Amino acid sequence: MTTQHPTSTEHASTGAADPRDVDARDVDARDPGPASATTSTASRTAPPARTARPGSAIRSAEVLVTSPDRNFVTLRITTEDGVVGLGDATLNGRELSVVSYLRDHVVPLLVGRDAHRIEDTWQFLYRSAYWRRGPVTMAAIAAVDVALWDIKARYARMPLYQLLGGASRNGIMAYGHASGRDLPELFDSIRRHQDLGFRSIRVQTSVPGIDAVYGVAAQPSSGGRYDYEPAQRAPLPAEEDWDTRAYLRHIPAVFEAVRNEFGPELPLLHDGHHRMTPIQAARLGKDLEPYDLFWLEDCTPAENQEALRLVRQHTTTPLAIGEVFNTVWDYQTVIREQLIDYVRSAVTHTGGISALRRILDFAAQYQIKSGIHGPTDISPVGMAAALHLDLAIHNFGIQEYMQHGARTDEVFRQSFTFTDGFLHPGEQNGLGVVYDDEVADRFEYQPAYLPFNRLKDGTVHDW
Is 270 catalytic? The answer is no
Cα–Cα distance, 63 to 60 (Å, whole number): 10
Would you count residue 271 as binding Co ion (CB under 5 A)? yes
Would you count residue 88 as binding ligand EZ4 (CB under 6 A)? no
Q: Which residues of 332-353 are buried (b: 16+ CB within 10 A; e: fewer)?
A: ebbbeeebbbbbbbbbbbbbbb
**Cβ 439 to ligand EZ4, closest distance in Å?**
24
Quick one: 323 or 330, whose CB is closer to Co ion?
A: 323
Options 122-130, 263-271, 387-395, 416-424: segment touching Co ion (CB under 5 A) = 263-271
Quick one: 62 or 323, whose CB is closer to Co ion?
A: 323
- Of 420-459, which residues contact ligand EZ4 (CB under 6 A)? 450
List helix spans (H) across 101-181.
107-110, 118-128, 135-156, 160-163
Given 11, 273, 274, 388, which residue is catalytic? 273
Cα–Cα distance, 22 to 82 (Å, whole number): 9
3-state secondary structure of 384: helix
The answer to whether 407 and 68 are in contact (CB under 8 A) is: yes
Residue nearest Co ion, CB atom distance? 271
- Of 285-314, which residues contact ligand EZ4 (CB under 6 A)? none
Sign of CA dihedral 375, 410, 388, 174: positive
Is 445 catalytic? The answer is no
The answer to whether 302 and 322 are in contact (CB under 8 A) is: yes
Question: Kindly report the CA angle at 440 between 1 and 115, in degrees rounded to 5?
Answer: 85
List helix spans (H) across 365-459.
380-392, 406-411, 437-440
Would you count residue 230 as binding ligand EZ4 (CB under 6 A)? yes
Out of 150, 377, 390, 437, the residue judged to bind ligand EZ4 by CB under 6 A: 377
Out of 23, 150, 287, 323, the residue judged to bind ligand EZ4 by CB under 6 A: 323
Given 155, 161, 214, 401, which residue is catalytic? 214
Quick one: 64 or 296, whose CB is closer to Co ion?
A: 296
Quick one: 150 or 323, whose CB is closer to Co ion?
A: 323
Number of shown-chain residues binding ligand EZ4 (CB under 6 A): 8
- Of 261-290, which residues contact ligand EZ4 (CB under 6 A)? 271, 273
Q: Which of the 8 DSSP states describes residue 430?
A: B
Q: Which residues bind ligand EZ4 (CB under 6 A)?
A: 92, 230, 271, 273, 323, 375, 377, 450
Q: Which residues bind Co ion (CB under 5 A)?
A: 271, 323
